[in-house]
Chain A
Amino acid sequence: MLPFVLNRVAQGAVILVLVSFVAFGISVAAPGNAMQTFIDPNVPPEQLRAAEARLGLDQPFYVQYVRWVGEVARGNLGYSFRTGRPVAAFVGSRIGPTFLLMGTAFAVTLVLALWLGTATAARPYSALDYGVTGAAFAGISVPSFFTAMALIYVFALRLGWFPTSGLEDYAAGHTGIALFLDRLRHLVLPVTVLVLTGAAELVRHVRSAVLEELGQDYVRTARSKGVSERAVLRRHALRNSLLPVITLVGVALPRLLAGSVITETVFAWPGMGRLLVESVFARDYPVAMAINMLAAVLVLAGSLLADVLYAAVDPRVRYS
């Protein structure tokens, strides 16, 4: 196992370099730079040129890239062009909220998918099956920003059950349990959006995987031995249907990160996705690069984790 993991890490490093080169090229190739996001009569062109020179924006692409790589190798991710903040701390502070959102959404999706996938597999073609399938398909057929706006309108504005945006009630200054509950309230709507738009595929996969297992010989044997249907489902079919679920973990991460962009923007959630949008529009490429690289690392780590889990769960799988 270890040589496999190390090999993947090495490969991942190569991929990261490739990714950084492409992302950097794209960022720098964008027309206009951070000093051209405004026209201010009090800042004449020669001042802008001086500022560009100071930030190295007047250098050709490869010079800037080499400079960036050199800095990163020294552990310095640079400073934001727009705000001067040290990028590492800046981006680092946004990881938490994104993880909170994605992690909760993923956990809920997983639980929901396993529960509903199994339930519908146990009763195929029933009303429940059609209902769940219908809801799942409906969820993924609506653009996520619309789902978000609709939820805000109904549950936050009309019913007033949940807040419209933000991480917490900033004015109230809650601490302790009150803060925890407040944060929970603020999580509900954004997580719901992510779950509605992401759960469908997992539900369907679990369903078909469990159905396939239920058709196997060993299940019939267990049934004939008198094992209850629930035990059959839980102990046998579900365990073995975990494999496709695990592979989907690897795919889920990039999908959730992408979904976070829209959701975070609509809910004013202080996460990485929203920061990426802002920094791209502001041509703030030190920040945009850091987020892209971070996303790349997360995705690679996620797929490696999925493969390791796969091997752990399925004794037939061996990595040489």
Chain B
Amino acid sequence: MTRRTFTRSLLLVAVAATAAFGAAQGGVQRTCEVVGGTATIAQWSEPGNLNPLIFPTTYDENIQELVFARLIRPTETLTFEPDMAESWEVSEDARTLTFTLREGLTWHDGEPVTARDVAFTFTAMAHPQYPGGRYAEISTLEGAEAYHAGEADAVSGIQVIDDRTVSFTTTEPFAPFLPVIGGIFILPEHVYGAVDVARWQEDVTNREPLGSGPFVFQQWRPGEFVEVTAFDGYWEGRPCLDRLIVRFGDQNTMLAALLSGELDAAPVPVDGAASVESNPDLQLHVVDALSFQYIGTNLRNPILADPAVRQAIALAVNRDAMVSGLLQGYGSTLDTIFPTNHWSYPPDVTPIEYDPEAARALLDQAGWAQSGQYRAKDGRELALRLFVPTGNQVRERTAPIIQANLRQVGIRVDIESMDFPTLVTHLMPQDAQGTPRAVSVDDFDLFLLGFGIERDPNEYLSYLIPSDMPPNGFNFIGVDIPEVADLMLEGRVTLDQDARVAIYQEVGRLMRESLAWIPLYQAQELYGVGPRLQGFSPDVRGVNANVANWSVR
């Protein structure tokens, strides 16, 4: 049996299983404790755009996933289950995915959902004037480049076969394709197609979305809240709640509102956990996330180009203290660049110990002799700037710990705080005329940043391959390890899940050796819930997991 046919059979089995699962789900009314009522939750920032194809941030997506639906959606274990598509097939050459929509799907205005809406959504992302920035996600579709350049009328790789069937063909096997599709909400052609794509962000549809998800958009009062109501025609059955209100405000203000009973649920900052726990009416939910924080390095800096120095830094930083003290234990350390709860994390990775003695030994061996409080070599002091972006209080507080820890091994760290856009101008610099240029040794030394997996480890590609150093991509650190680059490119076109696991775990091991990224910790997310709200069950997918099953007493 060839590898391809083996892969294909595996996928067919998976598809059959999920299709059976989908058939069992379809058309069943859900069982609710109580039907009706209004729940009020909160998030820490107002959404910017409610059109899911315009630069979505997490705050935008939290609202969008209430109003819109996808072809497939992630499960709690990050596999994919049917959403609006009841089944899908993979072609022989593994380059074509064909989806069949369920019967009887409708938009919130009553119009039927057809394959043409799906084709429209994906085609719009390749439109030459599409302003939303997500073209790269589907640029591997056959004909997308031609369409994007204005040389074709349509994307040849998107075929509408009949009212309920649509197929996508990529130019080469694209492993993350399923996760990508699992992250694209479908737009109604009759609403969004009536608006010139170039004006999508300014158009009213960006503020008053219409989809086929569990809730219907009602209103958005800027600065205050978004209101949605239950959609009776939702394919999975009408949600239990009548109304859901999502308020926005500063994290401390929303915590106060939760504590006073004005909110049914809200995210809780780490230092607010104690207040929620000591409140008898409230329950604290602790959720694992797929993001982590790390120290980034500038490998063009000769000090940091020496792996011994990077290792010394990693050994000298007390990451356990960060987890126990700053995160109050709501989190864990991690030893490489993938989140520990994802399949890409190598279980046998060498842990990074906290060992200042070993750090000092390494620095001694590397020729950095102690001279006063700090070390020096060839007349140059071992001094590094640490750029800290504001906006994440726990991350900001790690900076003085890092500074103190490194001082103990003789490294001088100068902390520079800045807001996020300013940090970006250092990581992806521009020249005097405003043209993006390559990173130089002066642009930055060390910085703090977060990263993680949204859907697939392929998201790390541009961060780890040498061809994608700025201005071409996000490899501002300057990682240039041939095996890592080869593995990342291979992982992109390998469809066999077992093979992919091996590939990315090896990347994880190699990056652990390199320590170009020095991983710090993985924080958990905390939510507080009041006594009224039942069924609130956030998980790794986000706060709205299971939202259709929420009910209020």
Interface residues, chain A, with chain B CB atoms under 8 Å away: 30-33, 36-45, 47-51, 54, 58, 60, 79, 82-86, 90, 93-94, 97, 149, 152-153, 156-157, 160, 163-167, 169-171, 265-271, 274-275, 278, 281-283
CB pair A45–B259 under 8 Å, yes or no, is: no
The binding surface of chain A is classed by DSSP as: loop
CA distance A37 to B48 in the complex (A): 12
With A36-B424, A157-B259 given, is the CB distance from A42 to B248 under 8 Å? Answer: no
CB pair A47–B222 under 8 Å, yes or no, is: no
Q: Which residue of A lies closest to B203 (CB)?
A: A84
CB pair A163–B260 under 8 Å, yes or no, is: yes
CA distance A86 to B454 in the complex (A): 31
CB pair A167–B249 under 8 Å, yes or no, is: no
Q: Which residue of B lies closest to A282 (CB)?
A: B48
CB pair A42–B262 under 8 Å, yes or no, is: no
- Having A47-B134, A47-B136, one finds 20 other A-B pairs with CB under 8 Å, namely A30-B421, A32-B421, A37-B424, A42-B137, A43-B134, A43-B136, A44-B473, A45-B428, A45-B473, A47-B135, A79-B202, A83-B201, A84-B207, A156-B260, A164-B253, A166-B247, A166-B257, A170-B245, A268-B247, A270-B223
CB pair A270–B420 under 8 Å, yes or no, is: no
Nearest 3 Cβ contacts at the A-B interface: A32-B421, A270-B223, A268-B249
Query: What is the count of residue pairs linking A and B with beta-carbon distances less than 8 angstroms?
Result: 165
CB pair B222–A94 under 8 Å, yes or no, is: yes
Q: In the complex, how many angstroms separate the beta carbon of A82 from the nearest chain B beta carbon?
A: 5
CB pair A36–B421 under 8 Å, yes or no, is: yes
CB pair A40–B250 under 8 Å, yes or no, is: no
Q: Which residue of B lies closest to A58 (CB)?
A: B434
**Contact pick for A281, options B38, B225, B419, CB 8 Å:** B419
CA distance A48 to B254 in the complex (A): 32
Residues in chain A near residue B421, CB distance under 8 A: 30-33, 36-37, 283
With A31-B421, A43-B133, A49-B436 given, is the CB distance from A152 to B245 under 8 Å? Answer: no
CB pair B46–A44 under 8 Å, yes or no, is: no
CB pair A84–B253 under 8 Å, yes or no, is: no
With A43-B133, A58-B434, A274-B223 given, is the CB distance from A82 to B260 under 8 Å? Answer: no
Interchain Cβ contacts under 8 Å between A and B, 23 examples? A31-B421, A32-B422, A36-B420, A37-B424, A39-B427, A39-B474, A41-B461, A41-B462, A43-B136, A45-B470, A50-B133, A60-B434, A84-B201, A90-B222, A94-B223, A160-B260, A170-B221, A170-B225, A266-B252, A267-B253, A268-B223, A270-B224, A283-B421
**Contact pick for A164, options B38, B260, B434, CB 8 Å:** B260
Render B275-317 as a binary contact track against A, CB cut-off 8 A, 1 for contact.
0000000000000000000000000000000000000000000
Residues in chain A near residue B463, CB distance under 8 A: 41
Residues in chain A near residue B256, CB distance under 8 A: 152-153, 156-157, 164-165
**Contact pick for B425, options A36, A152, A165, CB 8 Å:** A36
B80 sits at the interface (CB 8 A): no
With A45-B471, A79-B202, A90-B222 given, is the CB distance from A266 to B253 under 8 Å? Answer: yes
CB pair A84–B224 under 8 Å, yes or no, is: no
With A83-B206, A170-B245, A270-B223 given, is the CB distance from A165 to B253 under 8 Å? Answer: yes
Q: In the complex, how many angstroms separate the beta carbon of A32 from the nearest chain B beta carbon?
A: 3
Q: Which residue of A lies closest to B390 (CB)?
A: A281
Q: Which residue of A lies closest to B256 (CB)?
A: A164
B40 sits at the interface (CB 8 A): yes
B412 sits at the interface (CB 8 A): no
CB pair A47–B40 under 8 Å, yes or no, is: no
CA distance A153 to B247 in the complex (A): 20
Residues in chain B near residue A43, CB distance under 8 A: 55, 133-134, 136
B131 sits at the interface (CB 8 A): yes
B320 sits at the interface (CB 8 A): no
With A160-B260, A165-B249, A268-B253 given, is the CB distance from A82 to B223 under 8 Å? Answer: no
Q: In the complex, how many angstroms separate the beta carbon of B46 from the nearest chain A beta carbon?
A: 7
Residues in chain A near residue B462, CB distance under 8 A: 41, 44
Q: In the complex, how many angstroms separate the beta carbon of A277 from the nearest chain B beta carbon?
A: 10
CA distance A30 to B419 in the complex (A): 11
CA distance A265 to B256 in the complex (A): 13
CB within 8 Å of A: which B241-277 residues? 243, 245, 247-250, 252-254, 256-257, 259-260, 262
B146 sits at the interface (CB 8 A): no
B354 sits at the interface (CB 8 A): no
CA distance A274 to B136 in the complex (A): 35
B54 sits at the interface (CB 8 A): yes
CB pair A268–B436 under 8 Å, yes or no, is: no
Q: In the complex, how many angstroms separate the beta carbon of A91 from the nearest chain B beta carbon?
A: 10
B459 sits at the interface (CB 8 A): yes
The winner among A83, A271, A281 for most chain B CB atoms within 10 A is A83
Q: In the complex, how many angstroms separate the beta carbon of A102 from the nearest chain B beta carbon?
A: 16
Residues in chain B near residue A45, CB distance under 8 A: 428, 436, 470-474
CB pair A42–B257 under 8 Å, yes or no, is: no
CA distance A31 to B131 in the complex (A): 23
Q: In the complex, how many angstroms separate the beta carbon of B287 from the nearest chain A beta carbon?
A: 22
CB pair B260–A42 under 8 Å, yes or no, is: no
Q: In the complex, how many angstroms separate the beta carbon of B469 from the nearest chain A beta carbon?
A: 11
Residues in chain B near residue A42, CB distance under 8 A: 133-134, 136-137, 454, 459
CA distance A54 to B199 in the complex (A): 11
Residues in chain B near residue A278, CB distance under 8 A: 46
CA distance A170 to B222 in the complex (A): 13
Q: In the complex, how many angstroms separate the beta carbon of A15 from the nearest chain B beta carbon?
A: 29
**Contact pick for A93, options B222, B227, B245, B252, CB 8 Å:** B222
CA distance A90 to B260 in the complex (A): 30
B330 sits at the interface (CB 8 A): no
B324 sits at the interface (CB 8 A): no
CA distance A182 to B470 in the complex (A): 53
Residues in chain A near residue B428, CB distance under 8 A: 36, 45
CA distance A184 to B262 in the complex (A): 16
The winner among B223, B245, B252, B256 for most chain A CB atoms within 10 A is B223
**Contact pick for B133, options A32, A47, A58, A265, CB 8 Å:** A47
**Contact pick for A31, options B206, B243, B425, CB 8 Å:** B425
Residues in chain A near residue B206, CB distance under 8 A: 83-84
Q: In the complex, how many angstroms separate the beta carbon of B489 from the nearest chain A beta carbon?
A: 15
Residues in chain A near residue B245, CB distance under 8 A: 170-171
Residues in chain A near residue B55, CB distance under 8 A: 38, 40, 43, 51
CA distance A273 to B134 in the complex (A): 33
B57 sits at the interface (CB 8 A): yes
B374 sits at the interface (CB 8 A): no
CB pair B250–A266 under 8 Å, yes or no, is: yes
B460 sits at the interface (CB 8 A): yes
Q: In the complex, how many angstroms separate the beta carbon of B314 from the nearest chain A beta carbon?
A: 23
Q: Which residue of A lies closest to B60 (CB)?
A: A83
Render B424-441 as a binary contact track against A, CB cut-off 8 A, 1 for contact.
110110000010100000
CB pair B131–A54 under 8 Å, yes or no, is: yes
Q: In the complex, how many angstroms separate the beta carbon of B320 from the nearest chain A beta carbon?
A: 28
Residues in chain A near residue B420, CB distance under 8 A: 32, 36-38
CA distance A170 to B48 in the complex (A): 20
Q: In the complex, how many angstroms separate the beta carbon of A89 from the nearest chain B beta carbon?
A: 10
CA distance A156 to B459 in the complex (A): 45
Q: Which residue of A lies closest to B47 (CB)?
A: A83
B49 sits at the interface (CB 8 A): yes
